[in-house]
Amino acid sequence: MGKERIDKIFREKLAAKEKLFVPYMMAGDGGLDTLEEKIAFLEKCGVSAIELGIPFSDPIADGPVIQQAGIRALESGTTLASVLEKLSVIRKKYTVPIILMSYINPIFQYGIEKFARDCFASGVDGVIIPDIPMEEEGIISPHLAAYGIACIRLAAMTSPPDRIKKIAERTEGFLYAVSVMGTTGARNAYAENISAYLRQLKENSPVPVLAGFGVSSGKQARYLSQYCDGVIVGSKIVDLFFKGKREEIKRLIESSLSGEPLTEKVKFP
């Protein structure tokens, strides 16, 4: 449970020379009733963990695809409370680690301590909060720690070495490497220094490093995975779920995990 479940499953996969693949989906997009079968589907596809987004009215770190998914989820009545409640019912049937991604304000209104307690009760293993940098994490990290829930920190390409060192030392479960200068969503290319950035994170991090933001194809996933332990794919998965293209999700995951490893720099069309 919690941080330990993430650590154990990631360790096993990496020991078997597999890369990690974490899809992001918006809870409540398509209605909260579809949550369970989506989790079941993704687990069957062999993902390493599932990142579950909580909708927020003002998601400043997200691009248009996730913004729209959030609006749809809110319109269908999804709240942090209803997601936690749903998870408490369905969680036990699945072993895949579940990580919540939420902006701080819905958590703040829910009550931070209550949030940590209910995450534990609902079988949530880790939490990602994109608008909490280290300077502000004191309001939540001790509560998550008390319940053994991983507080997953994010590093950015703008982070100087001293910040990267501190973020990597503190993160739990994995280190989230934001791999573009910008918001979530598909990109055609990465910055020149992406490999150096990911290598630097790997050198500093005691836990696996996953690259996220701007990853939308198997080829991109394999490219980034050369330099770290795997990827998080968000907008693309959200979009494919919305369009009902399950087969494409399956192919994307397969291609990310089992395609030919890329050893040289690729150009994206």
Q: Which of 109, 188, 193, 258 binds another protein (CB under 8 A)?
A: 109
Q: Least distance to another protein from the beta carbon of 35, Å?
A: 17
| Site map 2..41 versus another protein, x via CB under 8 A | ----------------------------------------
Q: Dump the DSSP string for the chain.
A: -HHHHHHHHHHHHHHTTPPEEEEEEETTTT-GGGHHHHHHHHHHTT-S-EEEEPP-S--TT--HHHHHHHHHHHHTT--HHHHHHHHHHHGGG--S-EEEE--HHHHHHH-HHHHHHHHHHHT--EEE-TT--GGGGGGTHHHHHHTT-EEE-EE-TT--HHHHHHHHHH--S-EEEE-SSSSSS--S---TTHHHHHHHHHHH-SS-EEEESS--SHHHHHHHHTTSSEEEE-HHHHHHHHTT-HHHHHHHHHHHHHSPPP-S-----
Catalytic residue, chosen from 51, 118, 125, 229, is: 51
* Amino acid symbol at 46: G
| Site map 188..227 versus another protein, x via CB under 8 A | ----------------------------------------
- The footprint of another protein on this chain (CB under 8 A) covers a number of residues equal to 41
Q: Which tokens is 19 given? A: 């890369």
The structure tokens 């998550």 sit at 144
Residue 80 engages another protein in binding (rule: CB under 8 A): yes
To the query of whether residue 239 is one of the catalytic residues in this protein, the response is no
By C-beta, is 91 or 153 nearer to another protein?
A: 153
Residue 130 engages another protein in binding (rule: CB under 8 A): yes
| Site map 35..74 versus another protein, x via CB under 8 A | ---------------------xxxxxx-x---x------x
Catalytic residue, chosen from 62, 125, 229, 239, is: 62
Q: Which stretch binds another protein (CB under 8 A): 39-47, 130-138, 201-209, 246-254?
A: 130-138
Per the CB < 8 A criterion, the answer to whether 261 and 222 are in contact is yes
Per the CB < 8 A criterion, the answer to whether 186 and 225 are in contact is no
Q: Least distance to another protein from the beta carbon of 71, Å?
A: 8
Residue 268 engages another protein in binding (rule: CB under 8 A): no
Q: Least distance to another protein from the beta carbon of 112, Å?
A: 12
To the query of whether residue 229 is one of the catalytic residues in this protein, the response is no
Please provide the size of the chain in residues.
269
Count of alpha carbons within 13 angstroms of residue 140, beta-carbon side: 32
By C-beta, is 14 or 156 nearer to another protein?
A: 156
Q: Least distance to another protein from the beta carbon of 159, Å?
A: 6
Residues 139-178 touching another protein, rule: CB under 8 A, are: 153-160, 163, 167, 178
Rg of the chain over CA atoms, in angstroms? Answer: 17
Q: Would you please indicate which residues are annotated as catalytic (active-site) residues?
A: 51, 62
Q: Which residues bind another protein (CB under 8 A)?
A: 56-61, 63, 67, 74, 79-81, 103-110, 130-136, 153-160, 163, 167, 178, 181-183
